[in-house]
Amino acid sequence: MKRKTLTDLLWQILLAVFVIVSDRAVKVYIIANCRQGEVFGELPGVADFLYVRNTGAAFSILNDNTALLAFISIVFLIAVVLYKIIRKPKHFMENLAVTLFFAGGLGNAIDRIQYKFVVDFIDLKWFDFPVFNIADIAVVGGAIAAIIFVLFFDKEKKNG
């Protein structure tokens, strides 16, 4: 394996591990130490840390359909891995998108399978928005990276 390829793979693995471990660590702490609906910390003027059990997807879509959402999560993770294997992305933004999609998707899939709900805990004070978690931030970051890649760097789309 070429040195650049190995370096690229290493940062992707480290980023995925960081996202997954930090997401899991916070969620495990919350489950062990907090009651649902409890505010257990805050960033003054920015966000409360509030334990919420989400049985749905983004914005509580498909509430109480945990089995379906777990299945969709697994299909999503398989699709991301197949994309990585088949496409072999080379551009930084494309790899960033794939890595963040995988890490965030896995973080929430683990919740759905293990707990039958997703642990959300970041409640923004300055914007009326659903409570979310680190895995959600990774998925949104992946979407932003994918959009940037497609709009500015995807030569196949520009030439095709």
Q: Which two tokens stand for residue 127?
A: 């914007």
Q: Which residues form the catalytic set?
A: 120, 136
CA distance 72 to 112: 11
CA distance 120 to 63: 14
Query: Model-level pTM?
Result: 0.91
Q: Are 119 and 53 in contact (CB under 8 A)?
A: yes
CB count within 10 Å of CB 43 equals 11
- What share of the chain in percent tops pLDDT 70? 95
The pLDDT, as a whole number, for residue 116 is 94
Taking Cα atoms as reference points, which of 74, 105, 108, 102 lies closest to residue 89?
Answer: 102
CA distance 24 to 15: 14
Range name among 55-59, 90-94, 104-108, 132-136 with the lowest pLDDT average: 55-59
What mean pLDDT is predicted for residues 112-118?
A: 95
Give the confidence band of 62 by pLDDT, cuts at 50, 70, 90: confident
